[in-house]
Structure 1
């Protein structure tokens, strides 16, 4: 989607070498001068007579004072000598044969000259800061109110369209190879939509993208205007073709660009770069069907908004990436912790199965330890995996290999594309054949292109390849097969981090690891003992505070004013809350020290006891408890497991603002776990039951799904939903983990939550 003054050149091997920043001409709506350090005019555009009333030959080799007054010349001199901004803009007036003429002057430095560009304007007065602020303030406020990236980009396009009044304003995003797509659009009703269409990288070659990183704004008010040549002094070091116009606002339009936009029916364009972390993320692209001139100051407002957009864009994109990274790191931390304490390395890797898959969001995995291969989830056969490893071992660099289209690189993979169109392979050891392979299935995608993407590529009779502007931009659909979802950079980093941990913890430092584990076990015991003793000892002075505060209230309240009584009541309330928190801390410390009393337990009897206790503490009419089928008999510590069910049920009713509250308690068998995606294939041995407690309550935002299990982590104020310490879920997690299981939540805000847990 070339909104740009350069697209394909005559041949692909010349695209990156044509000096597009040295065009030897400018657009005709302004004047360009190149001034030496001595403030002599070394170069002019061949239209000075039209704007300044002087021929180029009358200006070349002349001092700048021939054209500008002393104050204006002084400003240019200070700009040349200064070390501040590389671009300087101001208003000026020039006496010409037609009388006094006003201009927007834009100056920028090159290595040997100052480029001064003049655009005619109606007034010498600049837009005031307040006016500038008023134009930008509303747009910025609306953009910052949006919470997700899609709405944010649409708001950006809408606000730029209000300011510029272009027929069409789009936000265009680049991918990793320079191709891109329209991700937001605001347009006139009579125009065909471009939203969602893709454009090949040849529409905006690498050299053009690099130029946008340097010059953030490009404006072409008349795509069909005749370019004006540059004229230089007779000097062997000064040629019009050697003047770098990378930062020029008047730089002329490449002929390919003109033809390209004529094919699109576009007569004027304004393009503003969006930079994220020093990388060209995308463009705000404005199209108009007729000539369209925008004053320089309004363009600067648009450029300023684009800088705000870039900052907000970095925040919104990074927040999404950060949330995923935090999730992967949490999974990885649990994974590494279990590996470090495991006696059997292979079993620590593959059990429980979901953990190995979740660490990179895969659907299947294979663990290869020499000749021993263990499959997890949806995978090719063991023999297919062996052959794949032999091939990929010749392709791998830096211990990692990834592709989202394995069959295109390894034709034999077509046979198992349904399970492994995507491959991520991690080599753990170069000495031994230790690998982890993750797989993703084929995802058939329909890509909507703006015209046939290869239309611009033409092969001549001699076999040479050339590029030319495309003529068609109508919807052209391509079905992409043999491709999986792409591996994200944070997923690749998660795999590398896993390797580093394995090498550092399991392989290279096995002896040291054993010592560390012993020390950690001792430290944990000491920490638990400290927590127990400290909490126990705190209760005595706290009880004294509570008792004496009550005595003061009972015997001396009449001596206190209303505020004094309120203060004492607050002390009593806080001491009660403090004791509750201390009791929770004591409970958690005891869980780490006590031995589990494992025995065969009928969960149905246990659950009915829990329900009776919960009903006793709440109005029975409020409790709709559903148990769709009998629960199984399992080995567990009945007292502790009843506490898990109790905590989850109490929370389910407490955090519920519906008039008809209900809780469902049940479990998923192996087939149901496979249907839900918790298991990718029938396990060779029996899999643990997955128990659940489901409610129709207020729900939990996704970014809090991990944090709610932290000790004393509350999502609401103490006054809302009946209070609480924020320890119940932390205690439940500790109990589940003591049983060798895990606990997690799936939740939708305002709809309800489902807490799942296993007990191995």
Structure 2
């Protein structure tokens, strides 16, 4: 990544957090975290910053302290070529690296003429806002040479300087050992009075986990500091710049001349500047601590090998000194390198400390996955092994929610509160599959009454469509935190009665009892939840594959069965016709010889063969119904019903039946022939099994957006589809027989009662409905009548409504 790319990334990151119009003098109670610290328009006083164009090397901006460090005013430099500042040989050195990575040439050794004398400087280059930025540092900032870093590290000796510290750091076994070895190494290398390793928590606060200090200083080890001590935009700059040094916190800032970048007309972005001026809030903070020089080395999660990556700020190595202190560029580079190496180590050490616990989680997960893999449903699997379900993430209770069904295990909030909680979780979880918090009752006040079981929440969304969730809960745990001073920043009243937010002045031990929080969820616990989701999805997909294989095999078996039924019924009809015909011949030719008894027996044989042929014909019809290709088209069911009723009336002219149609039936996509047969079977049955006079039959439908109060709630019907019905006032059906009537050849009455029949009509009717993707069912009251309800599936949706 080039310097310009990095600057662009910095701009995007910082711009989201700050207000460019906010001046340092305007910092107050509500805007501390909006201070634009990356564009202060000023630098620290121990060096000079200037910018120039790459094409003609003309100086565009320069810091006003150039008269002190370089012996000439800003006006003497602005608009002039670099030749006014340095020799042609040094300019040639700069030109040779303008198209390369500046990291390979920094620092530049510069010899500049100041007041007629040649003085040595270090120059550091980078790009920003379309210009080249050159920062020139003076090595000593005090008359006493002991106050400056006396060692100028030769980069050929770099390996020698880092070998021993790296060996000691890598030989540590625990995070605590690593942290202590780190601060000891950095203090030995730099000579700061105090070096601390400061670890950030998820809420942005920090904790001093290691310290190396001079004997005369009080210890800060173990103290916590609030998130407001390092605002969000400052953390972002720490993430992007791995080292930050303030040699003298009591400096007077040196403004840039001119204030705006001539190329952009905006303040110069100093995000990557070594000399960038410090927020007045931070310098006041350091003064309150008695610190005059400081250095911070960033530690990034998962290594942080490059400031351009997306790794997060894990912690800081904070160095403090009670007097001004400068370090050479080479020494700072060694510290930066060690910081990157330590970043890798802190991640691995933190993971190692959780290794035993991770093994426990993995063991619980393995048992749990084995259980649910052998169950018919997720709910059954969770119910069989609730202990491992909670142990899997170190929770005390869990809730499994599938659609509106809630199953609780262990200590959980009431089931009635879960639906609203999941609605809230959906607003927090976004596109992610997991959400966690250890301050649930603060973020979601309805849980306050249940803080004893639900102060912490880890939520896992298994399926958005099926609305399937796993929720784990933790109880409130009272904690005592040792703060380095009262954590809330004090507020001062100015002369004009406005409020001003100020840094804390006291850093003495301040204890706080924290309520309404659970133990925080560890990253390994969240990873275990996500791993469980992946495993569950894998099991569901595996079962779906197995079900697909079974369905394919079942479909093949059904086709073979239909084919067999067709062939068998067709072939059986021939010998039956022969028996029937020969019986007829015997009666006609030998009736007088057989006598009355023999003739009666032959007549019975003929009747039985006819009955058998009717049954085979019904079976053949059923087989054809299952095998026939459906022709879906727009069909006006009102016309189909008129045709069916006309046919029934012609076939049964003496039957007194009243047909009621509340409204004309709609136009739907379906197979016309099969729907005609469906209505014929249902209406014929309504007439046949009816001993009333008159027989009343109602044929109608209910749209999805209409009231379904008339449809019994226990019926298995998709109420998002149009529901058709055929209602009669006939003999009704006892509850124990409601499903039997749909079985083929199953009759509830003798063959000679209610007009006979084979008992296949309703079986064929259900087959027709199922082939259309719908459901046929019945509600009935014995002695009062029956209502047959059916849907035709989404493919057969209504395309228009006749008569409405």
Deviation string, structure 1 residues 95-127 (Cα, Å, up to 9, x no partner) = 333421111111112232221122234899963
- 1:8/1:469 contact within 8 Å kept: no
Residue 215 of structure 1, aligned match among 233, 241, 253 = 241
Quick one: distance in 1 between partners of 2:513 and 2:393? Answer: 26
Runs of at least 5 residues in structure 2 that lack an aligned partner in the other structure? 1-22, 141-148, 303-310, 552-804
Q: CA deviation at 1:419?
A: 3.4
Partner deviation per Cα, 1:598-629 (whole Å, 9 max, x = no partner): xxxxxxxxxxxxxxxxxxxxxxxxxxxxxxxx
Residue of structure 2 in register with 1:441 after alignment: 475
SS in 2 for 1:423: strand
**Would you say 1:396 and 2:425 are equivalent positions?**
yes
CA distance in 1, matches of 2:34, 2:404: 51
Q: Is the 8 A contact 2:197 2:209 kept in 1?
A: yes
| In 1, Cα distance between equivalents of 2:283 and 2:101 | 37
1:21, CA displacement in angstroms? 1.8
Q: Distance in 2 between matches of 1:509 and 1:342?
A: 13
Query: Deviation string for 1:230-273 (max 9, x for gaps)?
Result: 2239995477x722222222222222222111111111111111
Contact 2:102 2:126 in 1 (8 A): no
Q: Which residue matches 2:217?
A: 191
Distance 1:94 1:429 in 2: 68
8 Å CA contact 1:61–1:233 kept in 2: the answer is no
The Cα offsets for residues 433-471 of structure 1, whole Å up to 9 and x where unpaired, read as: 755432222221111112222234579999997532222
- CA-to-partner distance for each residue in 1:469-500, whole Å, 9 max, x for gaps? 22222211111122211123442343344345
Mapping of residues 298-317 of structure 1, within 5 Å: 298-317=331-350
Q: CA deviation at 1:303?
A: 1.4
Write out aligned runs for 1:258-657 (5 A): 258-277=283-302, 278-320=311-353, 327-343=360-376, 345-367=378-400, 375-377=408-410, 379-380=411-412, 384-397=413-426, 398=429, 400-411=434-445, 413-428=447-462, 435-456=469-490, 467-503=501-537, 505-506=539-540, 510=543, 512-513=545-546
Q: Find 1:108's aligned residue among 109, 120, 126.
A: 126
- Residue in structure 2 matched with residue 135 of structure 1 by the alignment: 161
How far apart, CA to CA, are the structure 1 residues paired with 2:194 and 2:24? 20
Separation in structure 1 between the aligned mates of residue 233 and residue 272 of structure 2, nearest angstrom: 14
**Secondary structure of 1:483's aligned partner:** coil
TM, length-normalised to structure 1 = 0.60
SS of aligned partner of 1:177: coil
Q: Deviations over 1:321-363 (max 9, x none)?
A: 6765565345324322321222475443233443212211212
Alignment check: 8 A CA contact 2:260 2:267 kept: no
From 211, 232, 242, the equivalent of 2:258 is 232
- Among 43, 50, 53, the alignment partner of 1:33 is 50
8 Å contact kept, 2:193–2:213: yes
| TM-score calculated relative to the size of structure 2 | 0.57
Between the aligned partners of 1:7 and 1:54, the Cα distance in structure 2 is: 28
Provide the alpha-carbon RMSD of the alignment. 3.5
Instruction: Tell me how far apart the structure 1 counterparts of residues 177 and 216 of structure 2 sit (CA, whole Å).
Output: 23
Cα shift at 1:72 = 0.9
Cα pair 1:158 1:169 within 8 Å, conserved: yes
- Summarize the Cα distance change of 1:373–1:407 in structure 2 as closer, same or farther, 3 Å threshold: same
Displacement of 1:302 in angstroms is 1.2
* Deviation by residue 1:25-46 (Cα, 9 ceiling, x = unmatched): 2222222221211111222222
How far apart are 1:410 and its partner, in Å? Answer: 5.0
Cα distance in 2, alignment partners of residues 186 and 354 from structure 1:
45
Higher RCO, Cα 8 Å, sep 6+: 1
Matched, 1:173 2:199: yes
Q: How does 1:676-695 map to 2 (within 5 A)?
A: none
Partners of 1:208 and 1:201 lie apart in 2 by 11
Deviation at 1:282, TM superposition (A): 1.4
Structure-to-structure mapping, 1:704-719, within 5 angstroms = none
Deviations 1:616-651 (A, max 9, x none): xxxxxxxxxxxxxxxxxxxxxxxxxxxxxxxxxxxx
CA gap of 1:220–1:360, structure 2 versus 1, over 3 A, is: same
Which entry has the higher C-alpha Rg, 1 or 2? 2
Alignment partners' CA distance in 2, 1:24 and 1:250: 11
- Is residue 248 from structure 1 mapped to residue 273 from structure 2 by the alignment? yes
Note the residue ranges of structure 1 that are not aligned, 5 or more in a row: 1-5, 519-760
8 Å contact 1:88–1:108 — kept in the other structure?
no
Secondary structure, in 3 states, of the residue corresponding to 1:395?
helix
* 1:274 and 1:310 in contact (8 A); partners too: yes
Q: For 1:256-302, what per-residue CA distance to the aligned partner results, in whole angstroms no more than 9, with x for missing partners?
A: 22211111111111111112242221111111112222222222221
- Secondary structure (helix, strand or coil) at the match of 1:162 reads helix
1:422 deviation in Å? 2.2
- Offset at residue 145 of structure 1 (A): 0.7
> Structure 1 residues 183 and 73, CA, compared in 2 at 3 Å: closer, same or farther?
same
- 1:534 is aligned to none
Contact between 2:259 and 2:267, CA under 8 Å: does it hold in 1? no
Q: Distance in 2 between matches of 1:434 and 1:47?
A: 65
Pair 1:95-2:124 in alignment = no
Give the Cα–Cα distance (whole angstroms) in 1 for the partners of residues 404 and 42 of structure 2. 68
Give the aligned partner of residue 146 of structure 1: 172
Distance (whole Å) between structure 2 residues aligned to residue 15 and residue 403 of structure 1: 26
Structure 2 Cα separation of the partners of residues 262 and 165 of structure 1:
20
Q: Distance in 1 between matches of 2:151 and 2:194?
A: 30
Stretch of structure 1 that moved more, 328-337 or 26-35: 328-337
Query: Paired residue for 1:21, among 35, 38, 57?
Result: 38
